[in-house]
Chains A and B, each alone.
Chain A
Amino acid sequence: MSRVFIGMGTCGLATGAGQVKASVEKWAAGHNTAIDITPVGCIGYCQVEPIMDVVTETGHRVSFSNVTADMASFILDEVILRRNLKLDGLLGQFRNGTAPLAGVPFIDEHPYFRKQVKYVLRNCGIINPESLADYRAHGGFQGLERALSLAPSGVVDDVLASGLRGRGGGGFPTGKKWQLAAAEPGPVKYVICNADEGDPGAFMDRSILEGDPFSVLEGMIMAGYAIGASEGIIYCRAEYPLAIERLQKAIATLTAEKLLGAPLSAAGFTFSVRVKKGAGAFVCGEETALMASIEGRRGMPRPRPPYPAVAGLFQRPTIINNVETFANVPHILREGPARLAALGTEKSKGTKVFALTGKVRNTGLVEVVMGTTLREIVFDIGGGIPGGKKFKAVQIGGPAGGCIPESALDTKVDYDSLRSAGAMMGSGGLVVMDEDTCMVDVARYFLGFITSESCGKCIPCREGTQRLYEVLDAIVSPYSRMASEEDNLLRFNRVLNMESLAKVIKDTSLCGLGQGAPNPVLSTLRYFRPEYEAHIYDRKCPAKQCKGLLTYSIANDACTGCTLCARKCPTGAIVGEKKKAHYIVDEKCIRCGMCAEVCRFSAVKVS
């Protein structure tokens, strides 16, 4: 029987993996043969989804990219019937320990994968995320077996020795956190998995949950054993329906297999896990807000100490780790802490998964060793900027992170180097920006996000970010909207005070959300000050993104008077007679760009 793997994560499904699967089924029925179709998670190369792997007669797994429904049947024809692998979209073959197929490159030597080290993501896109047998065949639950043969403190020691630090952004040593919680008196303690991946531009946790849910659960069981907790809660965003579904299936499977909800050790250690759906509040990614949300309250942070390890959920000792952190733990216990500790830099061990997106050729999930430079990630793995455009910046760390320019691209990705470059690791979103991106607009975008997500508890964040947003909004708005001289002076005064306001917010906010909120402004001011100056002094947006500063006009000599733009203009701002040059009434123009888009003679000029 032939075997086919189809990448059916959110990215695969959104680009047509469902149709590919239907096409494979149809092909099998048409050829009177059975095909074992295994849905897998995302292998990380989302740019070329849907990805389909076919296992050849010789037992080699060969991967194809950009597969459509039509292509799928063609690929099956060629690979299974004609034994021809030289097809468009061939990514490469997987290593399987036997002699490789001649003339077919290895997938791990593909430019996108060559510089990556798959530690956490090793199973994603490879195994069937709903099959426990598959997970076990790839070493699953061997780590737990070893953990249970050690004393709980032995598990903590291993995690400490590996040097693992929290992958959710803060970078607190995981073993240390566990040690603190283990030292607290029981008997009721909690293990929480933070899967509220709210950072816009980050989706690594979603991919792990969709592609390898058992590894996260195994990590949580170990954490429960290490600190003496019997209950685990996964707080997952409601925006990730597929991840929640896979988790619930995985929990049901483990419960049936008596790995959850049944005694695992002679001493009677029992662990159970439930999923709690988040309700769409960014601030709930903050640990104390997250706990408030689980308790059924508004997700507002509280001051620390006491830390959750001492008094967390329902005032009991609690550890909160992020998805990627938990997914590291089974490998640490199975392979020993030395393997992880050998990867990375002195203070940042192991690998980090980044979500590489934006204006870059190859988008997707990238797992690299700590200490890899941003340049390697953007240009070697990401393939650089498409369309012959120039690189401008890479935004790292989400709304609390910063924008890093070309000159600082050799910054290494580890917790400390990124911080000194004015950014932060965050959860690992990397959004690449090219010359068409306006940095003032980006800063304003993030502040707009923060003002709508601020929980309102502390004043610097609630009021300060609103004022900061207003300053940036004024910078990108046309003067004509301003009422009086006095307003203009006031506005100028605020621009002058922007930097100090940002610093006050940073220093005095209660939680990480507020403390990080001014970072996009501070980092763009640090690296892209001339762009702000162009907006403020020249009233120009060099990237032509800030609509308020653009004017649309029609070139008399190029306009043929076809009236197309006048008909399409939503506000009726374009006037003119048929076959004569048209004119845009600036007061009526809302800068939607429709005229420039529909004009067949490139007569609409933007300045």
Chain B
Amino acid sequence: MMATSTVAKSVEEVIREHPSSREHLISILQDVQEIEGYLSRESIYRIAEYLHLPSSKIYGVATFYNQFKLTRPGKITIQVCRGTACHVKGSLNLLDSLKLMLGVEVGGTTKDGLFTLETVACLGGCSIAPVITANGKFFGRLDKKRLEELVGKFRAAGEVVE
């Protein structure tokens, strides 16, 4: 459909790496999101065209799975694990502090476009609970204080740092 911008070109390449059958829909969505950071309306139309499916079907699948985002995320995505072990060790308090620190709700992005706050069902890092990830990097055994330090460091550096 609208394959004009440079981003759309690489999306086009990624789509074409997969055979045109429904079986590959989720993989295509994952690869497109990897490039764009989210699924843009244009990409969804393009995928629908490529797979010969109505775009409503693509939308249906994209909204069913937690992984897919339909809005552009911030530069740093912080995921707070809400698994059982993390819950028992106080991840809800961490989440509340993060909401206050960043001034956003779950799913929201800060105005400066730096942070997006998300929750995730379980990261499998239960033995070092409570856990968060920042752009996929694990930080375990957190408390409020360490969390404040981490966010401060990220904010100062503008990226995820150790």
Residues of B33-84 whose CB lies within 8 A of A: 60-61, 64-68, 82-84
Smallest CB-CB separation from B138: which chain A residue?
A14
- In the complex, chain A residues whose CB is within 8 Å of the CB of B7: none
- For the complex, what is the distance from the CA of A297 to the CA of B60, rounded to whole Å? 9
Complex CA distance for A112 and B89, rounded to whole angstroms: 22
Whether A203 lies near B24 (C-beta < 8 A) is no
Q: Complex: how many Å from CA A141 to CA B138?
A: 34
B3 beta carbon closer than 8 Å to chain A = no
Interface size, chain B (Cβ < 8 Å) = 44
Q: Is the CB of A201 within 8 A of B144?
A: no
Contact (Cβ within 8 A) A277 B66? no
Cross-interface CB contact of A445 among B64, B87, B136, cutoff 8 Å? B87
User: Does the CB pair A358–B88 fall under 8 Å?
Assistant: yes
Scoring B residues 79 to 122 as 1 if CB is less than 8 Å from chain A, else 0, what string do you get?
00011111111000100100010000000000000000000111
A337 interface residue (CB < 8 Å to B): no
With beta carbons under 8 angstroms apart, the residue of B68, B89, B100 that contacts A359 is B89
B26's partner among A197, A199, A293 (CB-CB below 8 A) is: A293
Say yes or no: B65 contacts A14, CB within 8 Å: no
Contact (Cβ within 8 A) A46 B85: no
Interface residues on A, range: 35 or more
Which chain A residues border B82 with CB–CB below 8 Å? 200, 449
Within the complex, which residue of A239, A298, A446, A592 is in contact with B60, where a contact is CB–CB below 8 Å?
Answer: A298
Query: How many Å from the CB of B81 to the closest CB on chain A?
Result: 8
Across-interface contacts of B87 in A (CB, < 8 A): 200, 442, 445
B121 contacts A297, C-beta separation under 8 Å: no
* B19-31 contact mask (Cβ, 8 Å, vs A): 1 or 0: 0011111110110
Tell me, yes or no, whether B14 is within 8 Å of chain A by CB. no
Asked whether A111 is an interface residue with its Cβ less than 8 Å from the other chain, the reply is: no
CB neighbours (8 Å) of B136 from chain A are: 241
Does A238 sit within 8 A of B, measured CB to CB?
A: yes
Check if A431 is an interface residue, CB within 8 A of chain B.
yes
**Beta-carbon nearest neighbor of A434 in chain B:** B88
Contacts of A358 in B (CB 8 A): 84-85, 88-89, 129
Q: What 0/1 readout, one digit per residue, does chain A (444-482) give for beta carbons within 8 Å of chain B?
A: 011001000101000000000000000000000000000
Q: Are B140 and A201 in contact (CB under 8 A)?
A: no
Q: Which chain A residues numbered 15 to 55 have a C-beta less than 8 Å away from chain B?
A: 15, 46-47, 49
Instruction: Tell whether, in the assembled complex, residue A240 and residue B124 are in contact, meaning their CB atoms are under 8 Å apart.
Output: yes
Closest CB in chain B relative to A238 CB, distance in Å? 6
A294 within 8 A of B: yes
**B127/A11 in contact, CB under 8 A:** yes
Q: Which of B22, B65, B127 contacts A355 (CB 8 A)?
A: B127
Instruction: Pick the contact of A364: B123, B127, B140 (CB < 8 A).
Output: B127
Query: Separation in Å of the B54 CB from the closest CB of chain A?
Result: 13
Q: Indicate if A202 sits at the interface (CB-CB under 8 A).
A: yes
B residues within 8 A CB of A455? 64
**Assuming A13-B138, A201-B122, A433-B88, is B30 touching A277 (CB within 8 A)?**
yes
Mark interface residues in A319-338 (1 if CB within 8 Å of B CB, else 0).
00000000000000000000
Whether A295 contacts B22 by the Cβ 8 Å rule is yes
Of chain A, the residue at the smallest CB distance from B33 is A279
Neighbour of B140 across the interface among A15, A359, A432, CB < 8 A: A15
Which one of A200, A203, A280 lies within 8 Å of B67 (CB-CB)? A280
Beyond A296-B26, A395-B84, is A200–B129 a contact (Cβ under 8 Å)?
no
Contact A203 B125, beta carbon cutoff 8 Å? yes
| CB-CB nearest in chain A for B25 | A296
- Return chain A residues, CB-CB under 8 Å to B126: 200-203, 355, 357, 363, 429, 431
Interface centre among A49, A240, A298 (most CB of B within 10 A): A298
- Least CB distance, B132 to chain A, in whole angstroms: 10
A116–B141 Cα distance when bound, in Å, is 26
B-chain residues with CB within 8 Å of residue A449 when the two chains form the complex: 82, 121
Contact with B along A181-205 (1 / 0, CB 8 A): 0000000000000000111111100
Which residues of the other chain, B, contact A239 by a CB distance below 8 angstroms?
Answer: 120, 122-124
Given A201-B122, A296-B25, A280–B66 Cβ distance below 8 Å?
Answer: yes
Q: Using A358-B84, A363-B127, A431-B85 as known contacts, say yes or no to A296 and B122 having CB atoms under 8 A apart.
A: no
Residues from chain A with a CB closer than 8 A to the CB of B129 are 357-358, 363
Determine how close the nearest CB of chain B comes to the CB of A381; give it in whole angstroms. 13
A535 CB-CB contact with B under 8 Å:
no
Picked from B68, B83, B100, B140, the residue with its CB within 8 Å of the CB of A14 is B140
B13 to chain A, nearest CB (A): 19
CB-nearest residue of chain B to A437: B88
Does chain B have a CB within 8 A of A282? yes
Which chain A residues border B96 with CB–CB below 8 Å?
592
Contacts of B131 on A, CB cut-off 8 Å? Answer: 14
A166 touches B (CB below 8 Å): no
Tell me the nearest residue of chain A to B28, going by C-beta: A296
**Contact between chains at A398 and B84 (CB < 8 Å):** yes
Known: A47-B127, A296-B24, A296-B25. A279 touches B84 (CB 8 A): no
**B88 CB contact (under 8 Å) in A15, A359, A453:** A359
Is B128 an interface residue when CB atoms closer than 8 A count as contact?
Answer: yes
Beyond A198-B122, A203-B126, is A298–B61 a contact (Cβ under 8 Å)? Answer: yes
Residue-wise interface mask of A (394-416) relative to B, using a CB-CB cutoff of 8 A (1 in contact, 0 not): 01001000000000000000000
Known: A280-B66, A597-B144. A11 touches B61 (CB 8 A): no
Q: Which of B64, B84, B100, B141 contacts A281, CB < 8 Å? A: B64
A335 to chain B, nearest CB (A): 29
The answer on a CB contact under 8 Å between B125 and A200 is no
A299 at the interface (CB under 8 A from B): yes
Q: Can you report 19 residue pairs joining A to B where beta carbons are below 8 Å apart? A: A10-B125, A11-B128, A15-B140, A47-B127, A198-B121, A200-B83, A200-B85, A200-B122, A201-B83, A238-B30, A279-B65, A280-B65, A280-B120, A296-B25, A297-B61, A358-B88, A358-B89, A429-B126, A592-B100
Q: 10 shortest A-B CB distances, which residue pairs?
A: A46-B127, A200-B83, A279-B65, A280-B66, A14-B138, A357-B85, A200-B122, A296-B25, A201-B84, A203-B124
8 more CB-based (< 8 A) A-B contacts, given A14-B138, A239-B124, A277-B30: A11-B125, A14-B128, A200-B82, A277-B26, A277-B27, A279-B29, A355-B127, A597-B144
Interface residues of A, Cβ cutoff 8 Å to B: 10-11, 13-15, 46-47, 49, 197-203, 206, 237-241, 276-277, 279-282, 293-299, 355-359, 363-365, 395, 398, 429, 431-433, 437, 442, 445-446, 449, 453, 455, 570, 592-593, 597
